Amino acid sequence: EAQVTQNPRYLITVTGKKLTVTCSQNMNHEYMSWYRQDPGLGLRQIYYSMNVEVTDKGDVPEGYKVSRKEKRNFPLILESPSPNQTSLYFCASSLGGLMNTEAFFGQGTRLTVV
Amino acid sequence: GQNIDQPTEMTATEGAIVQINCTYQTSGFNGLFWYQQHAGEAPTFLSYNVLDGLEEKGRFSSFLSRSKGYSYLLLKELQMKDSASYLCAVSVNDMRFGAGTRLTVKP
């Protein structure tokens, strides 16, 4: 089954404790991205990757890191989480680099930083 | 800047027709997407328009006017399960989303 898998689904952590949210897709997609979703603000892009070893900042990259060492995986790293990073996070992938094909989303990770 | 605007909330009656509008101002355009998102779930793809005109897919249709920076999603024969948020997204170098329209379908 074609899918994007995120882990964990739920996470409560403390300020400053490094964490990684994993994302994996099995569709051989070139394009992957991370979004955060907050009430009233919609989906805001954090980082995106056009292909292996190619990553770019989205609208809200501060406090986040990503890596794309292999095509299927695109982990999101919070080196020192803060309460304002409490949000619902989605990973997405699509076939086309120009995003002219539909995006497939993971099930989301609800992160709470206390 | 990049602006994608859509109404925050809409309410409609089961069996009726509803139109959700989206206006955009972006630096570049590779197409416009509509996604459906039920509460707490991932967005799922509904439609894609890159040329002007109407695209029909079952009960859902989407319209695009590039010269006006305008799109709408038309939902016919509304069902209770259509209660969800509907996200307008414009493809530039990446994908930019509007804040979404929360649709409530009432009996």
User: Does A103 sit within 8 Å of B33, measured CB to CB?
Assistant: yes
Half-sphere exposure of A58 (CA within 13 A, CB side): 23
* Interface contact B30, partner A, CB < 8 A: yes
Please tell me the distance in Å from B107's CA to the nearest CA on chain A. Answer: 26
Q: Nearest-CA neighbor of B65 among B34, B5, B36, B24? A: B24
Q: Which residues contact B75 (CB under 8 A, 6 or more apart)?
A: B12, B17, B18, B19, B20, B59, B60, B82, B103
* Among the partner residues A42, A106, A108, nearest to B97 by beta-carbon distance: A42
**What pLDDT digit, counting tens, does each position of B3-59 carry?**
899 999 999 999 999 999 999 998 888 899 999 999 989 999 999 999 999 999 999
pLDDT in tens, A33-48: 999 999 888 899 999 9
- pLDDT score for B94: 77
| pLDDT tens by residue, A63-103 | 999 999 999 999 999 999 999 999 999 999 998 655 567 88
